[in-house]
Chains A and B, each alone.
Chain A
Amino acid sequence: MERQPDKNEISSYIIQSQEEEIKRIALELHEGVGQTLYSLYTGMQFIGNAVEQDEMKGYVSDMAELLEKTIQEIRLLAVELHPPTLTTLGLLPAMKSYLKLYTSTYGIEVELETSGKEVPLEERQRITLFRVCQEALANIARYADTVKAEMTFTWQFDHLSIIIKDKGRGFDKDKGWHQSTGLAAMRERMHLIGGEWHLSTKIGEGTVVELYLPFI
């Protein structure tokens, strides 16, 4: 009798398919829609230069400006969906770039510390670690009520550990576990790449999320 896939394999397949689809949409937005709009934008500029009526010139210029804003939106959306640096430069540069966006979006400063030499990871591992860090940081923005957070990357010869810490509000772990699927999803994602996820939190003292990925 054929072996049926187990729960972990199915979860892994669903997450991977979702990530592949996100990446495909991001690429399509950036390379497809974005490029087409850019062609329209340059065409609109050409028309703007050729038109002599002032009223029409102004109208074409407004349309070109709107197109420019849309192109920028599409590019940013594509980067948000799947940062290209995650594939080209690796986890740490992608995270540094995300932290800049995070601070300018939520007003929370994140102090990043790294030690050891970055080890190239598989794409699946990079995406998972990036998404779990994003989720932990999103939780800080939503619930921690703090202006600062800390993130530490420690690269060892046999493992990578990432610690995300805030000195914010903290929460009741049992309650949080039942109210949010985000915590369980972070743990599940880490398990699927052979890693570990730990959370410690105390009301009034803050929260620490620890990620551990062994290099097998």
Chain B
Amino acid sequence: MSVAVDLFIPGRSWLHQTDPRVKLLFVTVLLILLILFKNLWIMAVILLALHLLHWSAQTPFKKIWFIWKTLLPVGILMMLLRTIFYPAGEVLFSFGIFRLTTGGLTEGMVLALRIFSMALTVFAWLYTTTQSDLVQSLVRLGIPHAWGMVLALALRYIPTFQWTYTLISEAQQARGLDIQGRKGFQRVWLMMPIFIAMIISAFRASNQLAMALEARGYSSQRSKRTTLHPLSFRPADYLITAILLLIFGTLLFLYFWSGFGSHPILLLS
């Protein structure tokens, strides 16, 4: 089983061209708002707006469906649990101790919408940003260059180690390791020889990588690090940042001043 770690979808949309730092600000701002707001209508509008954002960024349908498909079981389970265990407001239907209430149902739906919206927000950033731009933006935001290097190398090596794991697993199974049909702790116990071989192989790769980096003068303190495609803020990026901060500031002010979005149904409580 191999999972694609590089989520970037090539494209030339406005979101692709927006500076990754602006996109990171967008993600931070929206995640805070999504956690604060508890209103069904606001959540629904945000979810719709996020789909429009993905549409404008030319995200293929199957990539949106991938998010929905993954989160649907969690979303439905959490909605049901919230509805059943936290009844409030008018009773719509009752069966034994189970009561379906307007309050419980609304809060459950808010919860499900929040789960989907948070994921769509994060993926709007990751679907439109290359791994190198992502790392560079974090470094430009103040993360030490060495830690940026750590992240870049980790992203580079994940597919390699997935392949190593598959290779070792198949080699061990060809020599009689029988993990098929085993479950839980028993399965993990049988997988230990695969883990040991994979980890030692990874540490050897780490040593070779360190030598290769040193041979190219990476540890030299005298050289200033440069990049092939340096990030630069365009006028549009300044504009988007200003709009984002204005919207965030206004909504935050309204939330704390008038309780905007803190009631499940009413816009102002």
Q: Do A and B come from one complex?
A: no
Interface residues of A (CB under 8 A from B): none
